[in-house]
Structure 1
């Protein structure tokens, strides 16, 4: 059972709201070893929570990879083609969630609803139940994700 927390809808700063969101993801998503938020307009890591201390250059690489995954030239081209073929006239990005499995970890990248230019990432052990990963991450974003 989760405890009620500040949802970030008051007068707190964006930095505080992002920090609350990242901490909630880290604590509430099963098998989570790290969570973070990336500003897609700058490519900067806004906040991070991990079970280990990682060198800053590793965290910077995560932010850069997130930017490429969602806004790389080919990805944007594919989004535009799919939106055109489906008659979608929205400026909103087509890809909202991306799951990446590595040898030992599962990475879930999700655009926030309140800010299309912010992507959160949740890194879990590969043994995570993917359905629970999606369900819990979406729940936290819905409850706390207003940034």
Structure 2
């Protein structure tokens, strides 16, 4: 998936930038949003309220990769699929919520691009129900990536 690939009249890179901007503006208490390619572990687009060192953003991308596709996670997904009789390459875990001391992080796989995860970081005061509702709404409205 390269920035040169196009879907419709916009490049994938432009679509990811648009998605990140919408997440930042429409998700309550949002302080940062990004899009990560799970096949490479690369941060494809990011927008934050402040400047963050590149190494911190790179670590977020690497942590997201481990969170969704780390060895133990893949093993758990395999066990769940086996026990439920599911034969598919589709990933079992689609959304993960992580609360840190001051922030709430929501990681969502993008349905139309299973190898892409959107990340939304909000202040801890966020209403978690509204966080999920708005993030899902933005992804749905954003359409196929």
TM-score between both structures, scaled by the size of structure 2: 0.94
- The question of whether the paired residues in 2 share the 8 Å contact of 1:21 and 1:145 is answered with no
- The question of whether the paired residues in 2 share the 8 Å contact of 1:38 and 1:120 is answered with yes
State the match for 1:93 in structure 2: 91
How many corresponding residue pairs? 140
Q: Which runs of 4+ in 1 moved over 2 A?
A: none
Once residues 134 and 145 of structure 1 are traced to their aligned partners in structure 2, the CA distance between those partners, rounded to angstroms, is 17
**Hey, which of these two has a bigger chunk of strand by percent?**
2
CA RMSD of superposed structures (Å)? 1.1
State the match for 1:60 in structure 2: 58
TM-score between both structures, scaled by the size of structure 1: 0.93
State the match for 1:111 in structure 2: 109
Query: Structure 2 residue aligned with 1:50, among 45, 48, 55?
Result: 48
Once residues 29 and 9 of structure 1 are traced to their aligned partners in structure 2, the CA distance between those partners, rounded to angstroms, is 25
Structure 1 alignment gaps of length 5 or more: 1-7
Structure 2 alignment gaps of length 5 or more: 1-5
What SS does structure 2 have at the residue aligned with 1:89? coil
